[in-house]
Structure 1
């Protein structure tokens, strides 16, 4: 090669041997990190050694794009081994401009003692600036997708921001939103003080790409970015293992907590005969299987008591804790009836007031279990108590929400599945959202053989969201493609939900006299 383009010494992979037993393990761990950062969480990327390069004084590589050295190659990994040198920075370009520069540890003095690495997409323009002193030793790997996942390969040399620009432009008008989970941990103070500037590592890279793309879209399509705290609770997995549940039931820490922290507030257990059957029932009940929360468990104990100071103290404690629950947990069908009952019976009226205010501000989509719970405990249809009045005050919000959903669902049959998501192909997603019943991918996908197309179809069907369709491999090994045909399941499922919502509105009007849209009252 012309020295004006590239000047270096190189060894083929067959001439390189790694004797350090930790090298293989380290490379594996590094590959997992690269897989995550490149956004291929569901793929098994492989690193294939391409060359060992030695750059002496004057060594360089002019701006260029890598050729595809291996099938399924998506990126290049450069590992610089400990080297004493000056110069030799790696520069990455975008749209002809230098965007990133990696000095491989020279600035902090670690280049001589530690290996450093850099990764760039195979189609990214890059250059190695001239080594001005010493020698630079580097290994170059091709990062590749396994054969069965070649369809995930980037098919464009556009930068990531261009791909995001296209995706952002597709976001529908309205209040549609999406969340990007951050990989690093942050303190509340750092986020409040610095906002997005506090982001680090891969979080900063991802947000930067989003921000760059967002700056290019039309004004009416621009996204608003927010940093939010996500909290979740796991009460119990839906598909439980009986043996695993047995371990939870026999957990000494759980037993110790109940009898040392909860029971002392109940007074003399030995003299409280009404409490003993309840404790026995709770202990015998497979708590893990039923998914009882601490609040629900405590309310069950309260429900078994016959009054007294123990019940009063325990009630005040549990009502305070209940108000801290997330709305989704507070509206649990098992918890709501007990909570409605005992918040109303509390001697402190402020407890019921807090409970009522919390319900009045709640998302109407969560209120069905609340209204049903109050209905269950209303004595003989009595419509004068405060619980009934509470239910009656929140029913209009629920009915309004239901009517809105009914308006969305009560549509004539159409093949347009407006919520369809298909991340592997914009064209397939547009088809699923459009009026056509079937399509093929002859001009949109390329597969190495029929089996790869068939595997892709099976994976896509298993992960489908917001749509219903069949996807089959067709053609031969030389020209494999996919045939996609929509089914009625998506529409039929929505009709079932529509019937449920309409029945609920009818039931609410019957029991609470709620007005319909035309002003009539049952």
Structure 2
């Protein structure tokens, strides 16, 4: 909790960010430094290595029960971000580094800074997170528990200016992919939706998270689709909740409520994913950004065995 900042500052580089197809440096938008994964290593005593592995494994377990139900989840260390006094990062979405990269995890190492709150925004919902470790009682006195923040890659986020001290943030990529069925294992009696609901009930007491998709909501969607079919509508389409890379618009890469909804509706209907290419344009005003969306026909690659060539997705 009290790292030697002087050692780190000797090796850091200014943090760039993506603006369209370019990688740029703009301190008015992002002011911070970083060490990438190939520039830093965890050299822990033998008796401490298992503690770090347990820490990472516990985060993976919580992600499996709250964000990626039914998927194989792995945490990959990406970089150490450093925000000194005045450091900040305006609203943005992080780039994805693989088709299976669907989440981010942030953990702050130290305690001595002020400001630097993390803001999250998705579909008009905003939340502010105080990244300072929380205090708890233990036998030997008072201890500190780090705040672990996890969110999907298409969630916009912002680091408020640090007003005093230096904030050190470990950043991890979360890779998740649908687990293939095992022929030698008896199929479970529960549905993905029930599993998500029960897991959410289990962790609700100690994890702050957006509610998972409730069964009554899914049933309402299914009933409305049936009514439309009975009225003569043969095809019903609606957009997914999250954004995806073009190459990862597949069932096995769906995340959160998209995955749960797909798995549940597939039991009643012929469900097909259709890709739509989305292009976001800013009008140049930092305080009032306008996003305009354009849908284009998207030709799938010929080696895609999961969907027919020429399929479109929304």
- So what's the TM-score if we normalise by structure 1? 0.33
Q: What RMSD in Å do the two structures reach over aligned CA positions?
A: 4.2
Residue in structure 2 matching 1:84, options 103, 112, 132: 112
- Greater share of strand: 2
Matched, 1:14 2:38: yes
Q: Does structure 1 retain, via aligned residues, the 8 Å contact 2:65–2:196?
A: no
Task: State the alpha-carbon separation in 1 of the partners of residues 110 and 122 from structure 2.
Answer: 29
User: Counterpart of 2:198?
Assistant: 181
Task: State the alpha-carbon separation in 1 of the partners of residues 135 and 150 from structure 2.
Answer: 20
Q: Does structure 2 retain, via aligned residues, the 8 Å contact 1:82–1:114?
A: no
Task: State the alpha-carbon separation in 2 of the partners of residues 35 and 178 from structure 1.
Answer: 11
The Cα shift of 1:149 comes to 5.6
Matches within 5 A, 1:402-421: none
The Cα shift of 1:116 comes to 2.3
Matches within 5 A, 1:95-494: 95-98=123-126, 100-105=127-132, 113-146=144-177, 180-181=197-198, 200-201=205-206, 205-206=210-211, 210=214, 423-424=262-263, 426=265, 429-431=268-270, 444=274, 478-481=303-306
The superposition leaves residues 235-260 of structure 1 with CA deviations (integer Å, 9 ceiling, x where unpaired) of: xxxxxxxxxxxxxxxxxxxxxxxxxx
Matched, 1:37 2:66: yes
Matched, 1:50 2:78: yes
Q: 1:92 to 1:210 in 2, by over 3 A?
A: farther
Task: State the alpha-carbon separation in 1 of the partners of residues 208 and 114 from structure 2.
Answer: 31
Task: State the alpha-carbon separation in 1 of the partners of residues 34 and 195 from structure 2.
Answer: 47
Q: Which has the higher Rg, Structure 1 or Structure 2?
A: 1
Q: Does structure 2 retain, via aligned residues, the 8 Å contact 1:89–1:102?
A: yes
Q: Does structure 2 retain, via aligned residues, the 8 Å contact 1:182–1:203?
A: no
Task: State the alpha-carbon separation in 2 of the partners of residues 58 and 129 from structure 1.
Answer: 9
Q: 1:422 to 1:89 in 2, by over 3 A?
A: closer
Residue in structure 2 matching 1:3, options 12, 27, 35: 27
The superposition leaves residues 335-373 of structure 1 with CA deviations (integer Å, 9 ceiling, x where unpaired) of: xxxxxxxxxxxxxxxxxxxxxxxxxxxxxxxxxxxxxxx
The Cα shift of 1:128 comes to 0.8
The superposition leaves residues 185-226 of structure 1 with CA deviations (integer Å, 9 ceiling, x where unpaired) of: 79xxxxxxxxxxxx634597426x659x96xx89x97xxxxx
- So what's the TM-score if we normalise by structure 2? 0.52
Matched, 1:26 2:55: yes
How many pairs align? 200
Q: 1:49 to 1:482 in 2, by over 3 A?
A: same
Q: 1:49 to 1:107 in 2, by over 3 A?
A: closer
The Cα shift of 1:181 comes to 2.7
- Higher RCO (CA-CA < 8 Å; seq separation 6+): 2
Partner of 1:75, secondary structure, is strand
Task: State the alpha-carbon separation in 1 of the partners of residues 81 and 208 from structure 2.
Answer: 32
Matched, 1:64 2:95: no
Q: 1:58 to 1:23 in 2, by over 3 A?
A: same
Partner of 2:198, secondary structure, is coil
Question: Where does the alignment leave 5 or more consecutive residues of structure 1 unmatched?
Answer: 151-176, 187-198, 222-420, 433-440, 446-474, 484-522
Structure 1 runs (4+) deviating above 4 angstroms are 106-110, 182-186, 201-204, 425-429
- Greater share of helix: 1
Task: State the alpha-carbon separation in 1 of the partners of residues 196 and 77 from structure 2.
Answer: 37
The Cα shift of 1:482 comes to 5.6
Partner of 1:481, secondary structure, is coil
Task: State the alpha-carbon separation in 2 of the partners of residues 11 and 205 from structure 1.
Answer: 31
